[in-house]
Chains A and B, each alone.
Chain A
Amino acid sequence: MTATLNDIRHGYGDVEVLHGVDLDLPAGELVALLGPSGSGKTTLLAIAGGLLTPTGGTVHINEAPLYVDGKVDRKAAGDTAYVLQASSLIGFLTVRDNLLVRDITAGRRTTDADRERAADLLDAVDLRSKADRYPSQLSGGERQRAAVAAALYTQAPVILADEPTAALDRHRGRAVMELLARHAHERNAAVLVCTHDERALDLADRVLRIEDGRLG
């Protein structure tokens, strides 16, 4: 599955922060998007995932338009999952439930196989022993890794990660990037990682740079 963004424009008031961005996210590829703060990375990510309607341009998830008449197509948006910058964990759920809640929100009944898959993902991010803890009981890095596991648990064909390694040391940051790359390659998913962190860029299939709302 692919995500295609064409001529994306967006502004806040009179200030335009994205100036006609074109971006292809093909299946099976991890694309890293580098750029300084305020360059428009997070805005682009929000638009790619159906959280923010752009003022111009189109987004297609596997050729289906994500925005129709200015409104988000929920089915198309359901094919995307986020790893959010400001920690996307729900405070009143345990780490394990933060993964399983994705089934609830998608209207699915959680099975034993799902619980096993959640345990494996927590294992992969070295959090299995903390599955029953609440986010407030984790360190910043642990929360970040749990958020990655939660996004991967959805098995969404398009993963959008905003600064997924920001709170992590070099070793853990690389482990998270490896996990995302493996997800892209093994599950044939399109993965977009917005980051400042250049330490694990060698794991990306493609590196793009954005500055002042334009892809370089």
Chain B
Amino acid sequence: MRFLAWREVRHSPVRFGLIAGLVALTAFLVFVLTGLTVGLGAADVSGLEKLPVDGIVYAKGAASDLSRSGLPAGDRALIAKVDGVEDVQPIGFTMADLTEGQNSVSAALLAMDPTAPFGPKRDGVVLDNQARGKGLNPGDTVRAQPGNVALKIAGFADLGSIQHAAVAYLPLADWQRLRNAEGVSAFAVTTRSDAALAAIEQAVPDTEPVTKAAAINAVPGYQAETGTIGMIRAFLYAGAALLIGVVFWILTLQKEGPLAVLRATGASRRLLIGAYVAQVLATALAGVLVGAVAGVAMGVVMPPTVFVLPPGEVAAAGALLLAVALVGAAASIRRLFTVDPLLSLGRTA
């Protein structure tokens, strides 16, 4: 099996190289889109993903949008009394520009109580690492606009992004001063089960509790963005299957003569199919590996805020491409089953 597969590849390196090249180009596109999906997704919601909570309680009618949600601070005590709720933390949210002289950064301000078990326990504002290198340094005083409130930068940490803006943690009191309000945007809750979320809705009027996953999916633009790129990826996988299928179909047609001779010399269908599958796998694997290397190299060049290609995603996309290659190439297996050894005599009857 390997003998036949490898000998043919060795005899036609250009032909198989071109096929591997086609697979590599397709794989590269898949990896680039995967990197964009993960990167853009992370830029939209990673700030929420990093919150170690089970659910978020929004104001009813806010459509799980922190910008549109507003609740009285007093609801905290009501939520805390609900059976199954372990912890309640108020959060404030505002999109703002933080400016210091000529330096400015767009930030998703996420305000918390300084006693919250998560979040930085420092005075002032803590910015996500992506704001480094934009002229802002710890100790600088920035002005948050709108609101024109002065905030001192306490430091940088890995806080993620929300709606493509770097997350900035700040004390709830500063946020309330900025908004000139006493309420909060929402409450982050830790619960023993999802049933507690339904209980909150019953117990506290005008609230809309959702799981963290639902809150992430509700971030404006997140589903549209990932859905569009996901659809392009799906088409790309389908295109890859078709492309590989057609290429191997033509290849199989071209070698009908040698296949007939092999059948006439007693080669079993199993042997021919095994050699064929080995060729498909080897060619696709070579292409996927080249595509993956190019994709990872792309990640080095692209900004990490829009392109992230984790090893797990590379492995998953690579495995899916190999599976797709096998599916595409499966169409030619029927041809291998039906090749007539009589063709080896130069006869078709």
Contacts and interface: CB of A to CB of B under 8 A. Distances in A.
A74 B255 CA distance: 23
Contacts of A12: 349
Contacts of A97: 3, 7
B258 interface: yes
Nearest to A45: B345
B348 to A, nearest CB: 10
14 contacts: A43-B347, A46-B347, A51-B341, A51-B345, A84-B261, A85-B345, A90-B258, A91-B11, A92-B7, A97-B3, A105-B265, A105-B266, A105-B271, A162-B345
A109 B287 CA distance: 31
B216 to A, nearest CB: 54
Interface of B: 1, 3-4, 7-8, 11-12, 255, 257-258, 261-262, 264-268, 271, 341-342, 344-347, 349
Interface band, chain A: 20 to 34
Nearest to A86: B346
Contacts of B341: 51
A85 B261 CA distance: 11
Given A42-B345, A85-B346, A105 B262 contact: yes
A52 interface: yes
Contact of B265 (A43, A82, A86, A91): A82
A51 B264 CA distance: 7
B261 A89 contact: yes
A1 interface: no
A8 B271 CA distance: 32
Nearest to B258: A90
Nearest to B272: A105
A4 interface: no
A107 B265 CA distance: 12
A146 interface: no
Contact of A82 (B1, B3, B264): B264
A168 interface: no
B38 to A, nearest CB: 42
Contacts of B268: 105, 107
